[in-house]
Homo-oligomer: A and B are copies of this chain.
Amino acid sequence: LTVCIALDAMGGDHGPSEIIPAACYALNQYKSLSVILVGQEDRIRQALAAENMDPHARLAIEHAPEVVEMHEPPSTALRNKKQSSMRIAIELVRDGRADACVSAGNTGALMGIARYILKMLPGIDRPAICVPMPGINGHTHLLDLGANLNPGSEQLFQYAVMGSELTSAVDNIASPTVGLLNVGEDEIKGNDIVKQAAVLLSESHLNYTGFVEGNDIFSGKVDVIVCDGFSGNIALKASEGVAQLISHHVQTEYHRSIYTRLAALLSQPVLKSIKRKIDPRHYNGASLLGLRGIVIKSHGSADKVSFANAIKEAMLEVEKNVPERISTRLEELLTDRVAV
A44 on the B face (CB < 8 A): no
Report yes or no: A238 in contact with B217, Cβ–Cβ below 8 A: yes
Which A residues from 7 to 22 make CB contacts under 8 A with B? none
Report yes or no: A188 in contact with B73, Cβ–Cβ below 8 A: yes
A173 on the B face (CB < 8 A): no
Which of B214, B243, B270 contacts A236, CB < 8 Å?
A: B214
Given contacts A183-B234, A233-B183, A278-B249, contact A241 B266 (CB under 8 A): no
Which of B149, B244, B250, B259 contacts A215, CB < 8 Å?
A: B244
Which A residues from 162 to 193 make CB contacts under 8 A with B? 181, 183, 186, 188, 190-191
A301 on the B face (CB < 8 A): no
A202 on the B face (CB < 8 A): no
Report yes or no: B238 in contact with A253, Cβ–Cβ below 8 A: no
Which A residues from 190 to 249 make CB contacts under 8 A with B? 190-191, 213-219, 227, 229-231, 233-246, 248-249
Report yes or no: A234 in contact with B245, Cβ–Cβ below 8 A: no
Given contacts A234-B235, A274-B253, contact A217 B191 (CB under 8 A): no
A263 on the B face (CB < 8 A): yes
Given contacts A183-B229, A234-B234, contact A245 B214 (CB under 8 A): no
How many subunits of this chain does the assembly comprise? 2
Q: Give the docked Cα–Cα distance between A146 and B250 (Å).
A: 31
**What are 27 A-to-B residue pairs whose CB atoms are below 8 Å?**
A71-B186, A136-B245, A136-B248, A149-B183, A149-B190, A150-B191, A183-B230, A183-B234, A214-B235, A214-B240, A215-B237, A217-B238, A218-B238, A218-B244, A218-B245, A231-B231, A234-B234, A239-B239, A239-B241, A246-B274, A246-B278, A249-B274, A249-B277, A250-B270, A256-B270, A264-B267, A266-B267
> Apart from A214-B238, A242-B243, A249-B278, what are 16 other A-B pairs with CB-CB below 8 Å?
A183-B234, A214-B233, A214-B236, A215-B237, A215-B238, A218-B242, A234-B235, A235-B235, A239-B241, A249-B274, A253-B274, A254-B270, A260-B270, A263-B263, A263-B267, A263-B270
A-B interface, 10 closest residue pairs, ranked by CB to CB distance from nearest: A214-B237, A215-B241, A214-B238, A218-B241, A263-B266, A235-B238, A214-B234, A183-B233, A218-B245, A242-B242
